[in-house]
Amino acid sequence: MKHDGTSHDGRLHETAQRLGQRAADRLDVDGIARQVLQRLREEPARQTTWIHQTWLRIAAAVVILVGGAFALRSVWSNSDAGNHVAHFVADDLNDLSTDELEAVLTSFDDLITVDSVAVPESSDDLRELDAQQLRQVLRSLEG
């Protein structure tokens, strides 16, 4: 190999070539070879362990991903179902007559306490409400 440039580069190369020489001379090469071979003989068992650990980690990751996906899917489908029901209830309310709305409210009276319903302040009795007010009450019940 040619030295690059000046004689100073040459000195730098000479110094670099001496670097670590004494440490390398003291190296126990035969001992290192023996230890390397011994560790390599142990490798198959360690590799098997590594493979088992890796597969376990992969399996755990798959379980978490699939479980998470199912959980998200169920949350989204419940949310969609809720919107769907609300939509139909609202549509149905528009089609009901005053008498029919009163009948619905009567059945609700058995299930829900009056305290939880937003009744217009001017009225004490649900039966006195007109169709528009009854729709308002029912919508408040939908939450």
Partner 1 sequence: MAQPQPVPAASDAALISAWQAGDEQAAAELVGRHARALARFLAGAGAPEADLDDVVQETFIRAFRGVERFRGQCQFRTWLMTIGGNVLKDLARRSARRQVMPLDESVRDGAGDPHEHAEAREAEAQLAAGLKRLPRLQREVFLLRAQQGLEYEEIAVALATTPGAARVHYHHAVRRLKEIVE
Nearest CA among 97, 85, 98, 100 for reference residue 141:
85
Select 12 or 119, whichever has its Cβ closest to partner 1. 12
CB of 58 to partner 1, least distance (A): 21
- Tokens in use for 51? 């493979």
The rounded distance, in Å, linking the Cα atoms of 78 and 130 is 34
28 binds partner 1 (CB under 8 A): yes
Does the footprint of partner 1 cover residue 53 (CB under 8 A)?
no
Task: Tell me if 142 contacts partner 1 by CB under 8 A.
Answer: no
Site string for partner 1, 1-20 (x = CB under 8 A): x--xx--xx-xxx-xxxxxx
| Residue 95 is a binding residue for partner 1 (CB under 8 A) | no
87 binds partner 1 (CB under 8 A): no
By CB under 8 A, tell whether 33 contacts partner 1.
yes
Report if residue 111 touches partner 1, rule: CB under 8 A.
no
The letter for the amino acid at 88 is F
Q: Are 53 and 45 in contact (CB under 8 A)?
A: no
In the complex with partner 1, which residue's Cβ is closer, 35 or 78?
35
Binding site for partner 1 (CB under 8 A): 1, 4-5, 8-9, 11-13, 15-37, 39-40, 43
